[in-house]
Structure 1
Amino acid sequence: MHAKGGPPLGHVLSRTAAKAEVHLLALSALPPAVAGSAQRLCASVVTPADAHRSDLVSLIVARAEAVGADAVLTFSEYAVVAVAEACEALGLAGAGSASALARDKRLMRRTWQRHGLPQPEFRPVGTEADLHAAARSLPCPLLLKAAWSAGSTAHQIIRSPHEVSAAWARSCDVMAESARLGYAELHVAEADADYVVEQIVTGTASDWFDEPGWGDYVSVEGVVANGTFHPVCLSGRMPTVEPFTERASITPALLARDAQDRIVDLARRAVDALGLRDCGTHTEIKLGADGSMWLIETAARFGGAMTVPQIEEVFGLDLVGMLVDHLLGHPVAWPEQVLTPAQARGAAGSLVVLAVDGRGRAWPVRKVWDFRAVSADIALSRGSRLSVVGESSLADGNVVPAYDPAAGANTMAALCLLSAADARTVLRDFETLVDALPRVLPAAQPEEVSA
């Protein structure tokens, strides 16, 4: 089932179609770059009318029964719960009845709290009054999050109780706009009214990485098969853009083996606590001083953007195809242990193009996206290969959106993929790209900006 978010549709469709006959239920419009190939790869492509989407689980079940589906899956965060419940109704393998615990940040944090796992102190909030009460009981600074959001959408930093009302209003506005754009929970009614606020913990990348430039959190990519968690690898990050918008993911993360083992152990405990059954997983962990760690969140699906293609390139694992095989009941040889940088064949990373410089400051002049200029005018390391993910990027000639801290990844202009000899090179090349983009991209004309 296709909806917005997740890995590029073209990638997951081709890998799925290599394993089975595919019937596509499209709840979001297919990206133009993929529409043609989708018709070739799929036995059917159905776009339901709006009137049929009020009961999403029944819609999925009916479509699955009509085509005789042996498995149902999605790679979109916004459809995870609906697909899991449909699989339960159909008696098919899936994330299971606990899927909402890996989607609703309030339930996730409560579950981890019961299991005594390290995480920021938090409070569920459903009204502005709840947020005021939380700001009186928790020390600032605080981070307000929409409980069902993704991509850092509607994040607001609250530095004092006086900022509560403005933060609440802004987050609500952003969630409403995200829903209009299709970046919203598809199954749970009124999910846009659910929030959580949490204390901001201090990360320390320098205690974990040998060189500067890395962000203070990582993600553990993995899968749950028959209730058993299989960690696959770790991906590192560049520092986020305020408030906490992700700029780049790099596979593999350059961590010492003992540090990686401790991170994986925490990820395992986090996933096990949620009780997931058959699904991909993506667990983000904040790294602090003296070996301290805090859980950020776990998703019952593979990492979005280019995480899955990066793993395939670097470690030779087709995670999409492996998951399809597992859901269909075929034996799959999951990695016996988490893969390390020593086992990597080079490195790969994805960069979200945002209109901010390396220090998070907005570009002084609006620019026009032009990948041809980027590839021609920015000198990267020898052997590095840069490409643009067409279905996740503006077409050349479009104005780069101004960065909106509250909207997060909704204001991205493009998604680029870079392959290099090692992760250090990817990180350095990404720093070069971030610094050079406002210099090499053409300036937008006043009439283009106003339009």
Structure 2
Amino acid sequence: MSKVLLVHAKGGPPLGHVLSRTAARAEVHLLALSALPPAVAGPARRLCASVVTPDETHRSDLVSLIVERAETVGADAVLTFSEYAVVAVAEACETLGLAGAGNAAALARDKRLMRRTWQQHALPQPEFRPVRTEADLHAAARELAGPLLLKAAWSAGSTAHQIIRDPREVPAAWARSREVMAESAQLGFAELHVAEADADFVVEQIVTGTASDWFDEPGWGDYVSVEGVVAGGTFHPVCISGRMPTVEPFTERASITPALLAQDAQDRIVDLARRAVDALGLRDCGTHTEIKLGAGGRMWLIETAARFGGAMTVPQIEEVFGLDLVGVLVDHLVGRPVEWPERALTPERARGAAGSLVVLAVDGEGEAWRGRKVWDFPSVTADVSLSRGSELSVVPESSLADGSVVPVYDPAAGANTMAALCLLSATTPKTVLHDFEVLVDALPHVLPAARPEEVPA
């Protein structure tokens, strides 16, 4: 049986889902760079041939650590689903002579390099400037027409985003973004391999998106993601996921599979995603490409990752299209033949629809809840009326325990202040969108109020 070294770190699809699908195809050896979620610790030890959690003294050279562990277990493939470990795993695979994202992995991780590469290929994207100092940011604010978005070059989950509408806001935005990156590192949401990655930023013009030119019904966000796989350097699109509108500044609230797009629109979006991935030169990995949708058919590339989409994107695709992305990637990496979809799967091929909702303490208008609330999923299922045939569940490893106080939403911290991750299965994408809107409106009313003594000081 083939052997796989799975490198776990925070972020990405739920570890429980990834482990079960990988273990169905290979003998799994788990290298845990982040603590295992309590809900997964037991199953992990049953599903894995070995589980190793290295101490801090062994993490200074992460690539060597991965290579050594892969050689010890005789791994036929090494993979990760975490944004923060992508570059280290790609470099380890190069050293080991195994299939992987390749030397181009950093181009799909560092937003500065990514944008430079797309600029060289004349691909549509916002105007940008790399930033390493406050002086760089001041210079960019003079050169670029606002409003601008400051983001960390190596971040994920919409963390450290700051909107700059006036050059006078530069000092505060710079200080807050750097502060959030330091806080994220303490929580384990930070690049694990590249030294001083928390000092790298990029600032870009905010382009104006519109969903109405792309979707027939209201409620959709003005961007989508194209999920795919690169195998032997060839990009294979899988499907397009739609979104609800983001929460300011650009924190993602919900992903919905599939996106309800006309065939012509889907073809144009997939073509841009293909050109974006091809420009980066990735070799063997999952991909997740986000694209902003504008008026008159305009599009702008937001970013591409050399891994599958996070949250519940992968489980959604399996539920809706019957495609086990984790399993087929494992098969490919260990050298088994794989039949990829001939073209991106469309809503006509879907068996219902699915979506994932990030629970944030803001209402449908993006306004903060009045008063602190306690997360209690049983109250949600008991008191929120969803559409007939819809089924709502919570993802334990990505959610606070029932009885926990919901964090105050921090626009700069993004997904770091989420309370829970919910999965909804429904009959159509339109139903998912409707039920999520109902949920967002109902949550501040159905969740119990936190007692004063429960609220953190």
**Cα drift, residue 295 of structure 1:** 0.1
Deviation at 1:447, TM superposition (A): 1.1
In structure 2, what is the Cα distance between the partners aligned to 1:7 and 1:365?
31
Q: 2: distance between equivalents of 1:357 and 1:118? A: 33
Cα separation, 2, equivalents of 1:165 and 1:36: 47
Give the 3-state SS of the residue equivalent to 1:297 in structure 2.
strand
Whole-angstrom CA distance in 2 between matches of 1:208 and 1:365:
37
Q: Secondary structure at the match of 2:79?
A: coil
Are 2:238 and 1:232 aligned?
A: yes
50, 58, 63: which one aligns with 1:52? 58
Which among 5, 8, 14 is matched to residue 14 of structure 2?
Answer: 8
Separation in structure 2 between the aligned mates of residue 338 and residue 381 of structure 1, nearest angstrom: 28
- In the TM superposition, what are the counterparts of 1:43-122 in structure 2 within 5 Å? 43-122=49-128
Give aligned-pair identity as a percent: 86
CA drift of 1:177 comes to 0.4
| Cα displacement string for residues 324-375 of structure 1 (whole angstroms, at most 9, x for unaligned residues) | 0000000001100110000000000000000000000000111000000000
2 CA distance for matches of 1:450 and 1:440?
21
Structure 1 partner of 2:440: 434
State the alpha-carbon separation in 2 of the partners of residues 287 and 309 from structure 1: 25
Specify the alignment match of 2:336 in structure 1: 330
TM-score (norm 2): 0.98
Q: Counterpart amino acid of 1:65?
A: E
Instruction: Give deviations 1:241-299, integer Å, cap 9, x for gaps.
Output: 00000000000000000000000000000000000000000000000000000000000
Q: Which residue of 2 aligns with 1:145?
A: 151
- Counterpart of 2:353? 347
**Where in structure 2 are the equivalents of 1:166-245 lying within 5 Å?**
166-245=172-251
Task: State the SS of the aligned residue for 1:380.
Answer: coil
RMSD of equivalent CA atoms: 0.4
Q: Which residue of 2 aligns with 1:420?
A: 426
Runs of 4+ aligned structure 1 residues displaced above 2 Å come to none
- Equivalent pairs counted in the alignment come to 451
CA distance in 1, matches of 2:133, 2:23: 45
1:392 correspondence with 2:401: no
State the match for 1:450 in structure 2.
456
1:366 pairs with one of 358, 367, 372? 372
How far does residue 450 in structure 1 lie from its aligned partner after superposition? 3.0
- Please give the alpha-carbon distance, in whole angstroms, between the structure 2 residues aligned to 1:165 and 1:100: 29
Gaps of 5+ in 1: none
2 CA distance for matches of 1:392 and 1:277?
A: 30
1:130-161 CA-to-partner distances (Å, cap 9, x unmatched) read: 00000000011000000000000000000000
SS of the residue 2:209 aligns to: coil
TM-score of the superposed pair, with normalisation by structure 1: 1.00
In structure 2, what is the Cα distance between the partners aligned to 1:88 and 1:300?
Answer: 15
SS at match of 1:205: coil
**Amino acid corresponding to residue 20 of structure 1 in structure 2:** A
**Amino acid paired to 1:275:** G
